Structure 1
Amino acid sequence: MKALELVRHLKTKLSEDIYTYDYNRETNKLRLTHKEIGKGIEISIPPILAKYEMKKEVAINEVVYTINETFQAMEKEMAGEIDPSLSVYPVIRSTSFPLKSNEGNRFITKDHTAETRVYYAVDLGKTYRLLDEKMLLEWKVRETEVRERALFQVRKLENHYKIDEVAGNTFYFFNNNDGYDASRILNESLLKDMKKQITGDMTISVPHQDVMIIGDIRNETGYDVLAQMTMHFFTVGTVPITSLSFIYENGDLEPIFIMAKNRVSKENEEK
């Protein structure tokens, strides 16, 4: 499927009577604007096409579902149905993610690593809404309070994972389908507990928002597997974050570059 074919296909599921479509060939992004509420969202086409190759129509239906839920959240906001008593969670995004909303309001953020940044969102059940300074002013809530609430909430999440072993290396996949899998990288208690059961190098990867991978890397093959794995997840994720992984040591996250069966940390590369 090509980009324009995808756009045409979306139009059969999301009627042009309700939405206007603006496809930018240069950036390969599609902007949908809801005619009634006058707000829009922008989606990147390549990740959807990559998922379509694997999941076919299921991938399209997932995108349509996300779009519908996002606009429903916007309608709730406009109707005044979002308030600070709802659950607030941290969400991880790449540092290239916009710092302001489409309306020009600054998002509530916190620095994380050179590759990632923390945003904050109010949970709406099937979706969430990123918090910006205008919303906090209306609610008379301080940013520090939002951050404290969010960390408390992420610590309360259940932490189920699946285990896979490859060439003597163990990988733990956190994929709970709650929208906050990558956010678990902020749960220091969870990371410390995982560290106790790891005998090699502990790596953490958040290639997209719906997965966190913790690796117990015991040989160079493990790093090659990790690099391929994170790049694959980064490519097919609806909200990609970073294809880089991190070494976790003494509570710190150090980005690593994996090349040609050798691992090179950012620190060593600069020497």
Structure 2
Amino acid sequence: MKMTSLKMKKVLEDRLSDSNLNTSYNREDDTFRVELNNSKQGVSIKLPSVIGKYNQHGDQAIDELVEHIKESLKIMNETQRLKGMEKNIFPVIRSTSFPTKAKSGVNLVFKDHTAETRIFYALDLGKSYRLVDEEMLETDGWSTQRIDEIASFNIRSLENDFRIDTVAENDFYFFAKQDGYDASRILNDALLEEIKGKSKGELAVAVPHQDVLIMADIQNKSGYDILAQMTMKFFTEGRIPITALPFIYEEKKLIPIFILAKNKPEN
């Protein structure tokens, strides 16, 4: 039986039926939302990405999603402090369309990154995380500069395992540790410089969703087309999509590029 958004909505409603929760479905952007009744804080899920994972992994994908939602809602009901949790603060990459306010109306702490991306900050709580907001900073008397410095240090401390695939004489590096910060590794300048140093051609970088970072040593024109198709595929399948546009990395800067047909654009 083919899974549709309406069928998935019904499955999630059944699995998340609780008097303390309110669920809703936005047909326009195909999003399912679960909120706490008392605070209106909650989690929004893009159903097409859930269906994609369900088609690959079956009921296990739904089990994992429901556990993630319940853990996230539990954390939202608790007061979180930054002080004493310095080692658990990491940067997370999001698209520029990602909301800059929590549903409660509190401003989230963020920093501009590229024309396509922004940097938010996550307090890692084990099975889930909470995005840092201005109230959390004020409670501990922290500045945005301080949290950025701590998060930047922590992302550099993570292991950077990768897999290399060579396609049409272009080398693709995949970082997919599944620790929640794969895309965040794009902020590790030393890592970018290391892969740049290995590259024979031009280095391109992509963060299609939260759980993958792709670096590509583009050595011929077909490499751009392969990267574009690969990035779009990952973008449509990711639980937290970021951007389908890859970047060229040169002179320690990330420049978004739009790849059309089989050629790199002149500009």
2:50 corresponds to which of 40, 48, 52 = 48
**CA drift at 1:36:** 6.2
1:65 corresponds to which of 64, 67, 71 = 67
- Which residue in 1 is equivalent to 2:137? 136
The aligned amino acid for 1:83 is: L
What SS class does the counterpart of residue 210 from structure 2 fall into?
A: coil
Equivalent-residue separation in structure 1 for 2:146 and 2:136 (angstroms): 13
Equivalent-residue separation in structure 1 for 2:77 and 2:107 (angstroms): 20
| Residue correspondence of structure 1 range 80-95 to structure 2 within 5 A | 81-86=80-85, 87-95=88-96
| Residue correspondence of structure 1 range 86-235 to structure 2 within 5 A | 86=85, 87-235=88-236
Deviations 1:142-198 (A, max 9, x none): 111100000000000000011111111111100011100111000001111111111
The aligned amino acid for 2:92 is: V
- Which residue in 1 is equivalent to 2:237? 236
- Which residue in 2 is equivalent to 1:76? 78
Conserved? CA contact 2:41–2:102, under 8 Å: no
Which sits farther off after the overlay, 91-100 or 61-70?
61-70
Structure 2 spans left out of the alignment, 5+ residues: none
**CA drift at 1:28:** 1.6
Equivalent-residue separation in structure 2 for 1:6 and 1:54 (angstroms): 15
Equivalent-residue separation in structure 1 for 2:244 and 2:18 (angstroms): 35
Deviations 1:202-240 (A, max 9, x none): 011000011100101111221111111111110010000
Equivalent-residue separation in structure 1 for 2:115 and 2:243 (angstroms): 10
With normalisation by structure 1, the TM-score equals: 0.92
**CA drift at 1:14:** 2.0
Which sits farther off after the overlay, 137-146 or 11-20?
11-20
- Total equivalences in the alignment: 263
**CA drift at 1:37:** 6.2
Conserved? CA contact 2:95–2:243, under 8 Å: yes
RMSD of aligned Cα (Å): 1.5
Conserved? CA contact 2:39–2:104, under 8 Å: no
Conserved? CA contact 1:205–1:213, under 8 Å: yes
What SS class does the counterpart of residue 35 from structure 2 fall into?
A: strand
2:11 corresponds to which of 9, 12, 29 = 9
Equivalent-residue separation in structure 2 for 1:75 and 1:82 (angstroms): 13
Conserved? CA contact 1:76–1:82, under 8 Å: no
Equivalent-residue separation in structure 2 for 1:129 and 1:211 (angstroms): 20
Conserved? CA contact 2:40–2:104, under 8 Å: no
Equivalent-residue separation in structure 1 for 2:62 and 2:221 (angstroms): 37
The aligned amino acid for 1:188 is: D
Which sits farther off after the overlay, 55-64 or 170-179?
55-64
Conserved? CA contact 1:30–1:43, under 8 Å: yes
